[in-house]
Structure 1
Amino acid sequence: MRIRDYNEIVGEKAINELHKLSEGLKDKRIIMINSTNKGGGVAEILLRLVPMLNRLGIKTEWLVLNGEKDFFNATKSFHNALQGQPHGDIKLQILKYQGFYDTKLRELNQHIIDCLENTCDSDIVVVHDPQPLNLIIHRKEDGSKWIWREHIDTSKPDKILGKYVYGLAANYDKTIVSKKEFIKGNPKKYEVIPPSIDPFTNKNKELSEKELKKILRKYCIPTDKPIISQISRLDKWKDPIGVIDVFKEVRKKINCKLILAYNSAADDPEGEMMERVVKAEQEEYCEDIILFGVHDDLLVNALQRVSDVVLQKSLKEGFALTVSEALWKKTPVVATKVGGIPLQIKHGKNGYLVKGYKIKGDGSPVNIEDRNMHIHKTAKYVIDILSDPVKRKRMGEYGKEIVRKNFLITRHAKDYLELFNDLYNCQKVIETISSSTPSGSRQKE
């Protein structure tokens, strides 16, 4: 996709800003590192952001950290504990994580070690999430800048793990989070940069009526009733059992269907939730519940367009790009008021926000009454949207405009370019950018 193709969506002025911000960085080399090249929001972002930076004339490379089962199990524990889930053996998981870097890193990731220590001559290294965080030990004393990009909700992390992780992060020049509430430590070392979607990917591009029908036929998706959907991983933080319970309450009032489409990332080993979801699916209204794995971005696109309401019932969330994806397709979203979701949903205007509830390590609620109230309110909002087509259309229009202004890849790239320029004191370039900053974009802390 050419940079100028985005003109039709964000305007020529925004594209000119990208080119201006790129001028002082064309002699720099950027390295992005994460732990998977497929599945999950981080991989999706890098798949589009890295080529965009290259097309702007900034040499940018994407490296993927390889790991073993024990390593990814440990980092899954990190993920849960950083999001506030108590973990009895977190010290052991830290030892496993550190042990991987001590004994297995070079064996499985010689390509990254060679790049960082010898061949890449990088000026800026951006490390995504905890998996590759400890790569900072291979930083050269050559003036390069290192940035840690944390994508999850770290508002209330486990104290032991938080001390370890933020001790490592302190060695970075900057840490990027999606929301200011995720900042831990010295605010001057943080940047708030929400993630984004690309309107030209298969997942988000416009579909003609003919294309939409073809995709729905291919996957046997019925459209004879209103559709509620959630597209997410099957883990306790996405609350798939709660999604089914919401549907069952809605179904008592409105004859509709639920599509629970799940995906997975290569670095996410949590799959035991499947048995519980399948059992719940086989209970009441089972004929109107559709559960399947989704690995086709065009199918995700079609599902979000054909849905009358999209749910994002996360109990913890870094940002939830699935919300922006649905809003971009003019579909209202009912979601839990956690993480970066309130940045995207304006209550009553493009969807509804519902207070969440706390869960134990096994995913069960700490307080069953809190859960029951949450399910009831979520169902109530879904019924409200399904019952009022005029409101649904108005919400859809409003939602798309919020995403266009705040959560597209062009704004995301601009935020990164401004940060890169800041790190190398390219202030003259930044001062030439006179446009106002959208509400969703980079905030200095």
Structure 2
Amino acid sequence: MVRKCVMYFGPSQAPLLQVGFRGLVQTDVGFRAHLTTIQNYKDTCGASTWETMMTYADKLRRDNTRIAFFSSTPQGGGVALMRHALVRFARRIGVDLSWYGKHYSKARDMINHVLALLLMNKIVPKPLPTALRITKNIHNILQGVSPPSQRITAEEKKAVIHWITENAYRYWLSESGPLRPAEEGGAHIIIIDDPQMPGLIPLIKRFTPDRPVVYRSHIQIRSDLIAQDSSAQADVWKFLWSNIQLADMYISHPIPAFVPHTVPRAKVAYMPATTDWLDGLNKPLRDWDVGYYGNMYNASCHAQKMTELHWPARKYIIQIARFDPSKGIPTAIDSYAEFRRQCKVADIEDTPQLVLCGNQSVDDPDASIVYDQTLDQIMSLCPELMKDISVMCLVPNDQLLNTLISKAHVVLQLSTSEGFEVKVSEALHAGRPVVATKTGGLPLQIKDSVNGFLVEPGDWKAVASHLMDLFTNNALYERMSYAARTGVSDEVGTVSNALCWFYLASKWRDIGTKESGKAVLQPNERWVYDMARDEANCPYSADEEQLPRCSIEDKKIN
């Protein structure tokens, strides 16, 4: 019993991530903890969304369809959050959906997991630390946030392919593995969920050419830079596209400009990132819980000699994001410094604090670098505000992030490059007005001057001006808070995410691929959610909240 407790729970008494045989990501203490009911999920969405989802779930169950997701990150970041929620929901609803991941960024994390899993006679995929740096560089280059001179060398490309291939043959293509043919126990449909793993696609197609493979791109890709033949982006994309082009469908965030010109538009479908309204990030917290997690945050600050939060005595502004070059953290600091200057001019003494925090993704080697740069910026440009700014890289704890977002006065998302940010959806759901940049999918989430404000990337003066409005105009704040809380679409919740994937799995199972001799599913840049609703003959009602549908002619990069 003691051994099991050590394996399943850490020093903070929070469940540890479990990665089992073949890299199978096992949510909720290895699927042992049952945290939700079907009725809980039904209560988070409208009747039309639920009925449409059940249409496809019933079909998947009848056909015994197996779905497998592959991504590099089992913990930290938006992809991991969505997959934890999707796996949990699929198991509850009875759909056979599995998620395979790998990567360990710290030797301690790897050793802890290996020891725990060996105790259970299980193994984990063989890690390659150098691959973390290479794949992160690829990520940064595609987003246009890397140094202009940075390139991915031929040797580095070979290393990534070798790493993917070795793991595939060792774990996923071996007997009864998820990449084996379906008649041998493999999955019927494969989803490659990030740009670190497209090297799997040629292997899958070599062994099972008629099995559908869907590639999902979850970052803001600078397609304008990819169109420049001599750019680093063009070189990296050529490397990735040599594998991705073999996929049967290309899923993107719902922004046409994120899709490079080489991707056939007939293959492209759109799907937003989602969050789970029942998990620790969003569920209602009692006052006692808020106090507990607030004390936990301040204890971590105290241990690291960082500024503690003084809430509820003082309000605070927050940006929750990974310490990543694309997240606009320098703009957040500049904006806060200008806002405080304006407060001083206006003789406002009751000033809020600023919180910059986030979890570190386990495949992100940039976090410590950006964290140090953040502290350097504060100390060099506005050292007098150091006592009012709290900068923390937090251990994974959903309820802690929930507490920080739900009690903030204003939430910032000042990214210079962004996909579709779930933290914005979570902030709006909590009734927090959001000040964000006009980049990526953020304009789809925020109605400018209704539930928040949109500014140009890097425009710290505009951010400061909006902060002044929100902290000095109570009527404006209450109106925006109400609009935020009541205007969140079903499309950004777990049930809708499941609806989209269940539809694709059932449709691909029926139609098959070009190699199977059947008709091919061609979305032609439609939203998967719309395709699923049409197929189920479930039209939208007049009172349903919908995300804006971008024009497919709009190719402007913000």
State the superposition RMSD in angstroms.
2.5
State the match for 1:167 in structure 2.
Answer: 242
Corresponding residue to 1:291 among 378, 391, 395: 391
Q: 1:171 to 1:385 in 2, by over 3 A?
A: same
Higher alpha-carbon deviation: 103-112 or 192-201:
103-112
Deviation of residue 77 (structure 1)?
Answer: 1.2
Q: 1:97 to 1:109 in 2, by over 3 A?
A: farther
2:354 aligned counterpart, secondary structure: strand
Corresponding residue to 1:216 among 294, 298, 303: 294
Q: 1:286 to 1:329 in 2, by over 3 A?
A: same
1:1-80 correspondence to structure 2 within 5 Å: 1-26=36-61, 27-66=64-103, 67-80=127-140
Q: 1:441 to 1:117 in 2, by over 3 A?
A: farther
State the match for 1:421 in structure 2.
Answer: 506
1:10 aligned counterpart, secondary structure: coil
Deviation of residue 22 (structure 1)?
Answer: 1.6
Corresponding residue to 1:314 among 415, 418, 437: 415
8 A Cα contact 2:57 2:95, kept in partner: yes
Higher alpha-carbon deviation: 326-335 or 274-283:
274-283
Deviation of residue 406 (structure 1)?
Answer: 3.0
Q: Deviations over 1:133-185 (max 9, x none)?
A: 11112213262210111100014341121222223211001111112322232
Structure 2 residue 537 is the aligned partner of structure 1 residue 433: yes
Amino acid across the alignment from 1:90:
R
Amino acid across the alignment from 1:398:
A
Q: For residues 78 and 233 of structure 1, what CA distance do their matches in structure 2 show?
A: 17
Deviation of residue 74 (structure 1)?
Answer: 1.1
Q: 1:68 to 1:428 in 2, by over 3 A?
A: closer
State the match for 2:321 in structure 1.
Answer: 232
Q: 1:54 to 1:97 in 2, by over 3 A?
A: farther
Q: Deviations over 1:66-102 (max 9, x none)?
A: 442221111111111111346535240x541332323
Q: 1:202 to 1:109 in 2, by over 3 A?
A: farther
2:73 aligned counterpart, secondary structure: coil
Amino acid across the alignment from 1:397:
Y
State the match for 1:263 in structure 2.
Answer: 359
Q: For residues 167 and 492 of structure 2, what CA distance do their matches in structure 1 show?
A: 39
8 A Cα contact 1:65 1:132, kept in partner: no
Deviation of residue 104 (structure 1)?
Answer: 6.8
Deviation of residue 210 (structure 1)?
Answer: 3.1
Structure 2 residue 180 is the aligned partner of structure 1 residue 117: yes
Q: For residues 132 and 441 of structure 1, what CA distance do their matches in structure 2 show?
A: 30
Q: Deviations over 1:295-326 (max 9, x none)?
A: 22111111111111111111001111111111
Structure 2 residue 333 is the aligned partner of structure 1 residue 250: no
Deviation of residue 438 (structure 1)?
Answer: 5.8
State the match for 2:306 in structure 1.
Answer: none
Structure 2 residue 191 is the aligned partner of structure 1 residue 126: yes
Identity %: 26
Deviation of residue 428 (structure 1)?
Answer: 11
Q: For residues 205 and 281 of structure 1, what CA distance do their matches in structure 2 show?
A: 33
8 A Cα contact 2:417 2:439, kept in partner: yes
TM-score by length of 2: 0.72
Q: For residues 74 and 379 of structure 1, what CA distance do their matches in structure 2 show?
A: 37
State the match for 1:183 in structure 2.
Answer: 259
TM-score by length of 1: 0.89
Corresponding residue to 1:88 among 131, 149, 158: 149
State the match for 1:193 in structure 2.
Answer: 271
8 A Cα contact 1:261 1:294, kept in partner: yes
User: Unmatched 5+ residue regions in structure 2?
Assistant: 1-35, 104-126, 227-232, 299-308, 512-530, 553-558
8 A Cα contact 1:21 1:430, kept in partner: no
1:172 aligned counterpart, secondary structure: coil
Higher alpha-carbon deviation: 125-134 or 425-434:
425-434
Q: Deviations over 1:100-135 (max 9, x none)?
A: 323674258722232213654211100111111111
Q: For residues 421 and 69 of structure 1, what CA distance do their matches in structure 2 show?
A: 37
1:204 aligned counterpart, secondary structure: coil
State the match for 1:300 in structure 2.
Answer: 401
State the match for 2:375 in structure 1.
Answer: 278
Amino acid across the alignment from 1:326:
A
1:122 aligned counterpart, secondary structure: coil
Amino acid across the alignment from 1:222:
H
Corresponding residue to 2:467 among 361, 379, 382: 382
Q: For residues 51 and 493 of structure 2, what CA distance do their matches in structure 1 show?
A: 16
Higher alpha-carbon deviation: 16-25 or 229-238:
16-25
Q: 1:87 to 1:236 in 2, by over 3 A?
A: same
8 A Cα contact 1:126 1:149, kept in partner: yes
Q: 1:387 to 1:103 in 2, by over 3 A?
A: closer
Corresponding residue to 2:455 among 354, 370, 374: 354
User: Unmatched 5+ residue regions in structure 1?
Assistant: 357-370
Higher radius of gyration, 1 or 2: 2
Deviation of residue 251 (structure 1)?
Answer: 1.4
